[in-house]
Amino acid sequence: MTLITMKTGDRFVASSADIFSRYGVTLEIGYDFEVYRTLLAEARPDHILGAPFDPDLHEMTAQNALWIVGRNAEGRIVHTQALRMLDMNGLSVGEYFTHRFREFPPSGVDLDLERSRFRAGPGAKRMYGRVAYHGEFWIAPEEGGLRGQGVSCVLGRYGFFEAIQHWDPDHIIAFMVKAIAFKGLAERTGWMHTQPGALRWFLRGNDTPVEGFMAYMDRDDLHYILELPLHDLVAMAA
């Protein structure tokens, strides 16, 4: 088993803590997704908890799932993300999502699931082992918030760090719509690989599909990303 080194972990924790302090951000980690649902209702009343993290649909415990909430200096929630280990049962990521992608829909839209589909790329076909799913990534858009400040570079990596600390997964994956991927979110938050055309979601009554990208990394990628100097990344992204 490969674990993040103490040197790398110490450096990342120290650098991220300094950056969060500079922007007045405090982070809370939790494991009860009913509590997370309540926090979402407070912070994002127009957002429905995504199906991949709905405790009514999945058995999630402190051993296989966590959420992260960030608050500003006034105590208002300005950031969310969540992670969950998947039950792969020996399947590759490509095989798993070919059969089960409908369990990972975008939140709050009326989908035509019969017409929607997942396409496994070469990376997805090669990935086996312990896989973490990352989602619910949101930064408050309000004026004076964190968007455009480069803090997304740190928040994304903080999720990677917690995934390693909790589970040491072989791989971590996420989905994002093409429009967001084209704005550079994957690069800013630290994802090293993306597959276009992974998902095509059809909205009911609409013949134009919404394309989804799959972002993914393996354990070595996670370690590499967490070893990069954070202050330089924040300065470049701001």
Tell me which CATH homologous superfamily contains domain 6-237: Gcn5-related N-acetyltransferase (GNAT) (3.40.630.30)
Tens-place pLDDT, residues 79-120: 999 999 999 999 999 999 999 999 999 888 899 999 999 999
pLDDT at 1 over 80: no
| Domain residue limits, the chain | 6-237
**So what's the pLDDT on residue 2?**
43
Residue 6's pLDDT band (cuts 50, 70, 90):
very low
Parallel, antiparallel, or unpaired: how do β-strands 171-177 and 117-118 relate?
unpaired
Closest CA relative to residue 26, chosen from 153, 210, 151 = 151
27-55 residue pLDDT tens: 999 999 999 999 999 999 999 999 999 99
Query: Would you place residue 13 in the very low, low, confident or very high pLDDT band (cuts 50, 70, 90)?
Result: confident
Q: Which amino acid, 50?
A: G
How many Cβ atoms sit within 10 Å of the Cβ of residue 174?
25
Q: How confident is the model at residue 23 (pLDDT cuts 50, 70, 90)?
A: confident
